[in-house]
Amino acid sequence: MTARTELRSWVESANGHSEFSLANLPLGIFSRDGGQPRGGVAVGDCIFDLSVACEAGLFEGQAAEAAKAASASSLNAFFDLGAPARQALRQALQNLLAENGERREQLQRMGESLLQPMDRCRMHLPARVGDYTDFYVGIHHANNVGKLFRPDNPLLPNYKYVPIGYHGRASTVDVSGATVRRPNGQTLPAGASEPSFGPSKRLDYELELGIWIGQGNARGESIPIGEAGGHVAGFCLLNDWSARDLQAWEYQPLGPFLSKSFATSVSPWVVMPEALEPFRCAQPARPEGDPQPLPYLYDEKDQQQGALDIELEVLLLTQAMRDKGLPAQRITLSSTRNMYWTVAQMVAHHSVNGCSLQPGDLFGSGTLSGERDDSCGSLLEITQGGKRALELPGGETRTFLEDGDEIILKARCRREGYPPIGFGECRGRILPAAS
């Protein structure tokens, strides 16, 4: 695997950029000045407008087909083209944007018609989400939450045999920056014999990796574990907002419902699998005594290269901090290395019963907490179910989120000899419940 630190661009802001250098080039959907949403590529502090590039004839062959699909108002058609087209577009973009590219002068003359200033653009949901599935592969989160409710038996027997998940609500997946209204619902207060109705008092975030599905499978057919990685189109950040008091009352016997379906936030940029190749690693060894995955979930190459080393961060900005001009406070630092199951295992399991996946389907990894107190991926864990308040600057405390609070997710990949890769931000601010 060759380092690409030498890959410089004539787009000056891309050189040494902490997130969007030529080593990354994530795709997203943007608009400017109320115009039509369309596909673009993040490069430095700019967005490379794929529609303008296609009209100018900047791409050829398979790359041209991919660029046309990616220039639409959603990335579904691009996802459906699969890895060869995606890789052709990525290579063509790197050639066009390279410091000594043959078309440098032509592209520079195109100015802002081709390279839109990112801070003047609005980002949209990258794809139409047909189906959304939330998994539960964060082993430390599962242990932490299990201990709150079952101290003597935190993990149920199936956890280490099957990637647990549930089907979420696709209609309420929204892009970073969209506000989140506190949900109303039924709760059973402590000591009460009957539920009451009203705004959730225990609103929480969940730190997750989002996985965008590319080419799907025919209904009735499964995706073999050895091919599952090829069905992933890209990655993002995902916040699975959770109303813990609604969840505690409703989840038995069928699992999450209204406590999860009111909002899910995703970051706007889709980081392609190729950008993450230098940050692949071996899946952490299972503790002694844990069962080996069943054959349909086991592939030796996936075990050696199927995990990802992505640093994950959560910041909290309250209204009082905002009013005082204080910066957001980091409350979580974790990693995707805390996944008990790989992404390929999630894809293989989801399809093993013949369920058809489709381009634009979205997976959430489940909350990716670490082993340390400062690596917990939810307030439920940080505050031990609300028993231990989180202290914030200015004397504020939190057990769960209050109106005006804003959660900011970030992620980055770093490895010596390689340019860093960033995901952008996944933001959401809490609004009061509807009256």
User: Would you please indicate which residues are annotated as catalytic (active-site) residues?
Assistant: 141
Residue holding tokens 């099957």?
162
Give the C-alpha separation, 296 to 220, whole Å.
16
The 10 Å CB-count burial string (b at 16+, else e) for 1-21 is: eeeeeebbbbbebbeebebbb
Q: Beta 173-175 vs 307-308: how paired, if at all?
A: unpaired
Give the C-alpha separation, 260 to 148, whole Å.
19
Contact (CB, 8 A) for 137 and 347: no
Query: Dmax over Cα atoms in the chain, in whole Å?
Result: 74
Residue holding tokens 């087909």?
65
Count of beta carbons in the 10 Å neighbourhood of residue 283: 20
Give the C-alpha separation, 266 to 415, whole Å.
25
CA atoms 337, 338, 340, 344: torsion sign:
negative
Count of beta carbons in the 10 Å neighbourhood of residue 288: 5
Give the C-alpha separation, 359 to 127, whole Å.
9
Give the C-alpha separation, 47 to 114, whole Å.
8
Give the C-alpha separation, 264 to 169, whole Å.
8
Q: Count Cβ atoms within 10 A of the Cβ of residue 411 and give its class: 0-12 exposed, 13-18 middle, 19 or more buried.
A: buried
CA distances from 300 to 138, 276, 295, 297, 347 (A): 21, 19, 11, 10, 16
Give the C-alpha separation, 315 to 371, whole Å.
18
* The dihedral formed by the CA atoms of 127, 132, 135 and 140, expressed in degrees to the nearest 10: 60
Give the C-alpha separation, 171 to 264, whole Å.
9
